[in-house]
């Protein structure tokens, strides 16, 4: 199957695209876009990969679903398009960055600036029906993104994985902690952030680890 995705990912995931589950998933997604309003726009489904080639990956942040409101999702977890109001979880992420690193993040909620530095902003499910959270779960996307995590775990070293909340932690259970740094806390959602997301210092811990490995740290502004 000819999937439009950045070439370094395409070469490594080509076998995945030929599997039966991915064929079924593709047919489901195509029909959903034909019949319903689906986010993100079709050309941005693999935006996280296109903006962060395999060889550039330094860190992985694992989200769950794309945002399901108009104009928000653009293929990067926790990120919204330029000019869109910040969702509550993103506000809390920026609050923790300021507390941890001592500077205010940028005025934009578009996190392409992180992706360009090697942060793979990976949702577990890459599409969603408008105003219906979780509507494309259990259709095959989770199998695909598990394979992506497994690939990174297997073929790379010294990657920082951010696992926020029980869902992301379960998805990252198989990551080899002897090869990579795994940072876990509650989710930045307003429902849980005060129970351990605030004060987790994940951003400084990430950068300290990368520096220790001789890898350029992330500018989280």
Q: Any idea which residues carry the catalytic annotation? A: 65
Query: CB-based burial of residue 91 (10 Å sphere; 0-12 exposed, 13-18 middle, 19+ buried)?
Result: middle
| Short-list 90, 89, 108, 3, CA closest to 45 | 3
In this structure, what token pair is assigned to residue 206?
């990430």
Sequence-distant (≥ 6) Cβ neighbours of residue 106 within 8 angstroms: 113, 221
Residue 152, φ and ψ in degrees, nearest 5? -65, -45
- Answer for the pair 60, 162: CB distance below 8 angstroms, yes or no: yes
Summary count for the chain: helices (H), strands (E):
8, 6
Unique residue bearing structure tokens 């609050």: 95
User: H-type helices in the chain, by residue range?
Assistant: 7-17, 20-35, 47-51, 88-101, 112-115, 141-155, 166-171, 202-212
Evaluate whether 142 touches 161 at the Cβ level (below 8 Å): no
């Amino acid at each position: 199957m000819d999937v439009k995705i950045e070439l370094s990912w395409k070469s490594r995931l080509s076998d995945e695209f030929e599997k039966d589950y991915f064929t079924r998933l593709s047919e489901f997604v195509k029909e959903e876009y034909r019949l319903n309003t689906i986010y993100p726009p079709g050309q941005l489904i693999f935006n996280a990969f296109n903006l962060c080639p395999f060889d550039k990956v330094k860190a992985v942040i694992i989200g769950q679903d794309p945002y399901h409101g108009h104009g928000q999702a653009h293929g990067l977890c926790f990120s919204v398009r330029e000019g869109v109001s910040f969702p509550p979880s993103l506000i809390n992420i920026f609050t923790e960055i300021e507390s941890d690193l001592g500077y205010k993040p940028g005025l934009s909620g578009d996190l392409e600036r992180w992706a360009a530095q090697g942060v793979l902003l990976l949702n577990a499910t890459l599409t969603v029906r408008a105003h219906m959270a979780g509507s494309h779960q259990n259709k095959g996307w989770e199998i695909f993104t598990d394979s992506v995590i497994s690939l990174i775990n297997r073929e790379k070293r010294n990657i920082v994985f951010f696992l926020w909340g029980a869902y992301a932690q379960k998805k990252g259970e198989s990551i080899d902690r002897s090869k990579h740094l795994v940072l876990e806390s509650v989710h930045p959602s307003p429902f849980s952030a005060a129970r351990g997301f605030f004060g987790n210092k994940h951003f400084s811990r990430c950068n300290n680890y990368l520096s220790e490995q001789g890898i350029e740290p992330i500018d989280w502004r």
